[in-house]
Amino acid sequence: MTLTLNHYLLVSGLLFAIGFAGVMLRRNIIIIFMCLELMLNAANLSLVAFSRFNLVNGLPNYNAQVLVFFIITVAAAEVAVGLAIIVALFRARQTTHVEDINSLKF
């Protein structure tokens, strides 16, 4: 049995779904944030897989790998900013619980 592209895509998709589920199910913002990272990485996995699959001149498609690189960088920046906001929120409200931050509604 050989590994096909779909194997990777399936793993990536499941990882994405798990992350997504985490966002929907968890109530701690920090963990939600981790789950978002999972989703981004799921995308990375399929990108790399596609990059390996769509060979250009016998080499992986480096466009995609550069994109993965960018995604990782952006994710890091996002984490930094996001955590800063979460910290600021915690300082203001003493909570990281999504159910406690619903003063803006309707």
Partner 1 sequence: MSPILFYLFAAMTLAFAIAVVANRNPVASALSLVVSFLGLAALFVGLDAYFIAVIQVLVYAGAVMVLFLFIIMLLNIQAEERRKINLPAYAGGGLVTAAFVAQLWVVLQKYDLGKTAFAPLAEKHVDDVRNVGNTLFSTHNLPFQVIGVLILVATIGVVVLSKRELK
Partner 2 sequence: MTPIPSLSLEIAVLTLGIVMLLIESFSKSDDKRGCVRFAIAFLTALIGFSFFVNPHGGNQFYAVDATAQFFKVLALLTTIVVLVMALEYSSVLAKFIPGVTPGAGLGEFYSLPVFTCAGLMFMASAVDFLLIFVSLELVTISFYILVAYMRRQSASLEAGVKYLILGALSTGFLVYGITWIFGLTGETNLAAIQHALETKQVATTPLLFGLMLLLVGLGFKVAAVPFQLWVPDVYQGAPTPITAFLSVGSKAAGFVVLLRVLQPFLAVPGVGVKVLAVLAVMAALTMLYGNLAALPQDNFKRLLAYSSIGHAGYLLTAVASATAVTDTLGSARLAVGFYLAGYLLMTLLSFLILIVVARHSRGDDILHFNGLAKRSPFLAFGLLTAMLSLAGIPFTAGFIGKFLVFAAAVQAGKFWLVAIGILTVAAGFYYYLRIVAAMYWQEPNCDTPIVIAPLTRFTIGALTFAVFFFGIFPQPILSLLKGPTLLPQTELHTAGR
Partner 3 sequence: MDTYAYFPWFILLAPLVSAVLIQLFTRKSHGLSATISVAAVCFSLLASIFVFFGPETAHANEIPWLDLPGLRVPIGVTIDALSKVMLIVVTGIGALVHIYSLVYMKGDDGEARFFGNLSLFMFSMLGIVLANNFAMMFIFWELVGVSSYLLIGHWHTRDTAAAAANKAFITNRIGDFGFMLGILMVWSVAGSVVFNDIERNLHLVTANPVFLTTAVLLIFCGAVGKSAQVPLHVWLPDAMEGPTPVSALIHAATMVAAGVYMLARVFFLIEPSLGAQTVIATIGAITCLLAALMATQQDDIKRILAYSTLSQLGYMILAIGVAAPGAAMFHLFTHACFKALLFLGAGAIIHQLHHEQDIWKMGGLKGKMKWTFLTFTAGYLALIGCPGLSGFFSKDAILMAAYNRGIWFFLPALLTAFLTAFYMTRLFVIVFLGDARSDAAKHGHDGPVAMTVPLMILGVLSVIAGYGTSHYFLPEHEEAHHAIVPVLAIGAFLAGTAGGWVLYKGQAKDPILIPLFKNKFYFDELYAALIAGTQDLLATMSGWFDKWILDGLFVRGLSGAAWGTGFVLRFAQIGNLQAYAFLFGLGVVGLIYFLVFA
Please list every residue from 83 through 102 that binds partner 2, using CB under 8 A: 85-86, 88-89, 91-93, 101-102
In eight-state DSSP terms, residue 59 is B
Binders in 60-99 for partner 3, by CB under 8 A:
98-99
* 3: Cβ contacts below 8 Å, ≥ 6 apart: none
Which residue is listed with tokens 């409200």? 93
In angstroms, rounded to a whole number, what is the distance separating the alpha carbons of residues 41 and 19?
Answer: 9
39 binds, among partner 1, partner 3, partner 2, none (CB under 5 to 8 A by kind): partner 2
Q: How far is the CB of 2 from partner 2 (least distance, A)?
A: 19
